[in-house]
A and B are shown apart, each in its own frame.
Chain A
């Protein structure tokens, strides 16, 4: 028998840690989604797809700016000392992933803005002369456009990795302490972004292209899930206990039904049928993928907070 009776009852800490509510999963999801969109939009820009008016690269950077700002606002809402938020930019703490993220985000906005200047939407043309001038200059230099595409892909990858590293750096929370988490969040971000473009695009060619890409990302995601779970199950006792929270514990229904089932397996099946022209392309599969990506962040953030170097370890 091992029994621990503790007199402490600090809010948000006891009986189990719950310092991060809905804001952080939403922030991580938005960050991952924007990371995926940046990679896809950057690739389209690099390949010159922006020349076609109907193509999604025409408006993806603008949508990303809105999504990223929404994610940042969610993060801001989570801060307990909001008026001190500017302190993030008075220092750079090399050991803190959150500090890295804050500074990476400073580069994300200009990258998205530059990509949006490659093609200014018709409704905004002529409204801000400086933007029009910059757009003309960028379009006069094809190498600059290719650079913007690569710059967006690179920063998108960094952003996607960051969303996972932020959690995996917390060694005290065994569920998060996995070297696979950054890859899981990056691939999940890519699949959510592909689903998002699949959902909003009006072009048939693009819809099929993104559905095929999403199928690849979802298949890869299943392998990454396998690696993540295997890594935890073959690690220390506390890591095994932590992964059991989502495999067979209180978070198992959400994980198996909404993340794996409705978020990966079923949409993959539907999109494989659609790509092979067995069924029509519908918004159902992409919506399931996006919802699955969001619920994944909720499950990982919530279950990770509960996971702990248990009292059994304390006794040793």
Chain B
């Protein structure tokens, strides 16, 4: 089963946990000082752009908004995934793995973003950031299926870049944000208190209450 072959379901995500905010536990025994320090930095110190030039950064933002759309959030509430991708590249903090035939992560990101731009121009005559959301989604699906013009990719394996670098880096940042923990009903930070009730359909008072069932996913069998 590969979601990439299905027609995408573009109706927006709606959280099953509308009244849950993991940050309400900030002063509770579920948070310790180490966690508060880490999250204070994440929530208050969004890194400035330093690695990419302005044009690539705008394109990166457009890609991020396509792979993790957040239409329900204001600009101030939005999880700025692109800022941390830029910071990670500036710090040159890798993942510990460079696959044979893949350039360094900095180079892979540069070439990958440029290839997306070249693909957009070849298909639609305009840049990636100027495409409609439907065109952007279709283009990224094509990249994931390897239906690309190799000449644009400067030796980068398109699907591997998309899944192993672009998507992985993006979700590592998005799902490390308290707003993402809240929307999925994740318990979030849990030291020193932990949990007491472990059984099915059971939860502690400090866990999220599911108020509506999760939405069906069309890609799922």
Does B associate with A? Answer: no
